Structure 1
Amino acid sequence: MKVIFKRTIFLTIIALIVFTLVTSSGTRHHILSQSNQNSDNCVIVDSLGDRKQSSQRCTNIPKNITSSTTYFNSERKLTGKLRFLAAITDKLLTIPQSGTYEYTLLRAYGAAFVNQDPEIKLPTKVILNNEQETQDFQATLTMAKVNDSYDCYLQKAAADALNRAKAQVIIPLKSGYGDSDCTRSFTTTVRFWRKYANDKTLARVRQGEETKILGTVAPPGSSQHLWGIAIDLRVSNEVQKQALNRNGWFRTVENDIPHWTYVGYPPEKLSEFGFKNKVVSGVSYWLTPL
């Protein structure tokens, strides 16, 4: 009995030491920790206590997942979903719960949140609620013009990458108008939504009964075009596609053929973040693993 008691004390001390080392490292990284009560519940914790803990819906999230690149190099055995979630925890204030409207939008439009370019800014939530909130966010962005375009502006890092691709091959805008093909206002996204859908459609999307529409038009406040990292293009051949891919641009919204998102990585890196390459009617998309 004495041997067992001593062994228990020893293991307890070791566990406390490990816990102390873990919680004192990675100061600025968020950690997804598995709930002791329910493996489907996890929390995002800022180690400095800057942000409140928020209950999240996750699946078997191992302890101590950080968003660092070294994490991916050592934990490739994790599912694509977990690698993706780990990559975006330092971008969003909270990870939406599975089955919610916000989670549906993250699955459809959340590809850009893996972008680690420090010059790229993304909102801290998946929906911008109104024109003022959109303007406040867009006012923080550093924008640049897309070459050979009329009034087409994107975040500078995204525009620079697109311009490098355009220097290799001609890649025209879909319509030629920057306010629709490039960075959009909240009002413009509402106008597009009403062109293809209505309030009843939105209610069905919110209830999880309709998702096909998301490949045609984004609900108000959720479009990547609001973030300055998406553009609609006329891409008709493999040379154009390869030039865009090499410069970090991909089709990431299933069935939205003209829509391209600046992810900031070459194709061979996307699988590290769990992206799924899916071909639909001969068109290749890189989709989130949610």
Structure 2
Amino acid sequence: MKLPIKKKRIINRIIKKATFISIVILMIFVLVASNEITHHKLARTAQPLNVCLSTDSFPCTDIPKEPTSKAFLPNPELNAQQRFLSAIARKLSTIPQPGTYEYTLLRTYGAVFVNQDVEIKLPQKDIFANEQETQEFQATLTMGHVDGTNDCYLQKSAANALNKARIQQQIPLKSGYGSGDCTRTFNTNLRFWHKYANNQILTKVQQGKETKILGLVAPPGTSQHLWGLAIDLRVGSKEQRKALNQNGWFQTVENDVPHWTYVGLTEDNLPLFGFNKQVVRGITYWITPL
């Protein structure tokens, strides 16, 4: 028996409404389930970090690592040190033990390890033993030229960001020589060390008895300049600083005034990654929380 056309229309409307309601309920269920999974995932991340931060558990090798190609933001429920460690653990295979020479270097120069740019290349350790190790690492880098210079090269993303800042403001190199201000060789790093320090001071740094020198010059094989992610600049105005900050460049080594580090983050995101803001003699430094 055929139904009247009016009844057919009513039945079709009922079926459409029921289908719509079912889809909405399914979407809500998926969102709730997804949120629950994310919550448990964050909880699992926090637990290893808490364990890892106890002295007896270092070096940290069990912090969960996400694929480095994915955008990453630390869990805001963690404290500053934990947020920083969760970020650098994606780059370093092992976090050094507190009190060691490697940990001291990571505290002073480790800001670059939070960089989320997939084009940035970072070493698996924070000390190069010699020129050969340095050259082997630098040979894997994709370099970019800093516009308006003869021989200043940085990792390409860092160079591009610096070039954008220098379009906004005139920002000269400290000395004008790229081999000293920009990416350095191991031997150049060593030459700078012997200009300001000696082997006796190096021994004190390695023993944890001297740290102030690290704000003046990096020990042999430890400079951010070796990684193509640091540059020495002559910066004297707020406008210059603003241009650099807007393009991911910050001062991260306290008391090293001309030294700028390519972190690749916005200033708003630095606290989220655990950085501490410190103003020393009118200059704003973003210091690691280690």
Q: Which amino acid aligns with 2:127?
A: I
Q: 1:138 to 1:70 in 2, by over 3 A?
A: closer
Q: Which amino acid aligns with 1:140?
A: T
Question: What displacement does 1:178 show?
Answer: 0.3
2:272 matches 1:272:
yes
Match of 2:236 in 1: 236
Matched residues in 2 for 1:65 and 1:196: separation? 40
Alignment of 1:1-290 (within 5 A): 32=48, 35=51, 39-42=54-57, 55-56=58-59, 66=65, 72=74, 75-290=75-290
Ranges in structure 1 where 5+ consecutive residues have no aligned partner: 1-20, 43-54
- Count of aligned residue pairs for this structure pair: 246
Matched residues in 2 for 1:106 and 1:92: separation? 11
Matched residues in 2 for 1:249 and 1:99: separation? 29
Q: Which amino acid aligns with 2:199?
A: D
Deviations along 1:135-192, whole A, 9 cap, x unmatched? 0000000001101112000000000000000011100000000000000000000000
* Higher RCO, Cα 8 Å, sep 6+: 2
Q: Which amino acid aligns with 2:128?
A: L
Question: What displacement does 1:203 show?
Answer: 0.5
Judging by fraction of residues, say which structure has more strand.
1
Q: 3-state DSSP class of the match of 2:270? A: helix
Question: What displacement does 1:69 show?
Answer: 5.5
Matched residues in 2 for 1:149 and 1:269: separation? 31
Matched residues in 1 for 2:63 and 2:195: separation? 45
Ranges in structure 2 where 5+ consecutive residues have no aligned partner: 1-36
Question: What displacement does 1:32 show?
Answer: 4.0
CA contact (8 A) 1:180 1:188 kept: yes
Q: 3-state DSSP class of the match of 1:41? A: helix
Question: What displacement does 1:40 show?
Answer: 3.2
Matched residues in 2 for 1:256 and 1:122: separation? 22
Judging by fraction of residues, say which structure has more helix.
2
User: Looking at CA atoms only, which structure, 1 or 2, has the larger radius of gyration?
Assistant: 2
Q: Which amino acid aligns with 2:208?
A: G
CA contact (8 A) 2:49 2:86 kept: no
Q: 1:200 to 1:245 in 2, by over 3 A?
A: same
Q: 1:150 to 1:189 in 2, by over 3 A?
A: same
Question: What displacement does 1:245 show?
Answer: 0.2
Question: What displacement does 1:195 show?
Answer: 0.3
Question: What displacement does 1:64 show?
Answer: 6.6
Over the aligned positions, Cα root-mean-square deviation in angstroms equals 2.5
Matched residues in 1 for 2:49 and 2:271: separation? 23
Matched residues in 2 for 1:86 and 1:35: separation? 13
Deviations along 1:220-279, whole A, 9 cap, x unmatched? 000000000100000000000000000000000000000000000110010111000100
Matched residues in 1 for 2:148 and 2:114: separation? 29
Q: Structure 1 residue runs of 4+, over 2 Å off?
A: 31-36, 38-42, 63-72
Question: What displacement does 1:90 show?
Answer: 1.8
Matched residues in 2 for 1:57 and 1:113: separation? 15
Q: 1:70 to 1:94 in 2, by over 3 A?
A: closer
Deviations along 1:67-116, whole A, 9 cap, x unmatched? 575662xx313110000000011211210000000000000000000001
CA contact (8 A) 2:145 2:153 kept: yes
Deviations along 1:183-225, whole A, 9 cap, x unmatched? 0000000000000000000000011110000000000000000
CA contact (8 A) 1:87 1:114 kept: yes
